Amino acid sequence: MAPESELEKRMTEDLKQAMKSGDTVKRDTLRMLIASVKNAWMAKQAALTDSDVLGVISKDVKRHQESIDAFKKGNRADLVSKEEAEMVILQAYLPKQMSHDEVVAEVKEVIGAVGAKGPGDKGKVMQQLMPKLKGRADGKAINDVVTDLLGR
């Protein structure tokens, strides 16, 4: 599999740099990420777009966050710090995340455009928002804001 998207090319170059500089954490994290991207490519049976690669990275970040939460409950500070270091490396490939206020502003704009009046219109609002905010805001955070603004 030759790198197709710009993100894949950037990850491959960063992996080479990490190998040359002896940065084992970055090297290992990028190897795992590239393997995840390759698995997604094999599942799709087609070249991945940057959007597809961002989806893979987002899933890996979410998996790391879940691991961090579990390790904190188990009082495993050593593993928490390892997972956090890997998560920082992965987040460098994601677009800047929107603040809560920015998400609220986008949700209000879409609610106005769609003409949503209550909880029954949540599906219409989410259908417009998710593609627009993909990769820039967490889906659960978006859902929570929509639920709050439209009422329960």
pLDDT digits 0-9 by tens, 12-69: 999 999 999 999 999 999 999 999 999 999 998 888 888 888 889 989 998 999 999 9
| Half-sphere CA count of 71, side-chain side, radius 13 A | 15
* Sequence ranges of the chain with CATH classification 1.10.1510.10: 6-91
Chain-centroid distance of CA 130 in Å reads 13
Nearest to 142 by CA among 90, 96, 102: 102
Is 100-150 CATH 1.10.10.410?
yes
Cβ atoms of 109 and 145 within 8 Å: the answer is: no
Instruction: Flag whether pLDDT at 2 surpasses 60.
Output: no
What pLDDT digit, counting tens, does each position of 3-24 carry?
578 888 999 999 999 999 999 9
Q: What is the pLDDT of residue 152?
A: 62
Task: Confirm whether pTM is higher than 0.85.
Answer: no
Structurally, what CATH architecture does the domain formed by 6-91 represent?
Orthogonal Bundle (1.10)
* Sequence ranges of the chain with CATH classification 1.10.10.410: 100-150
- 121-112-134 Cα angle (round to 5): 75
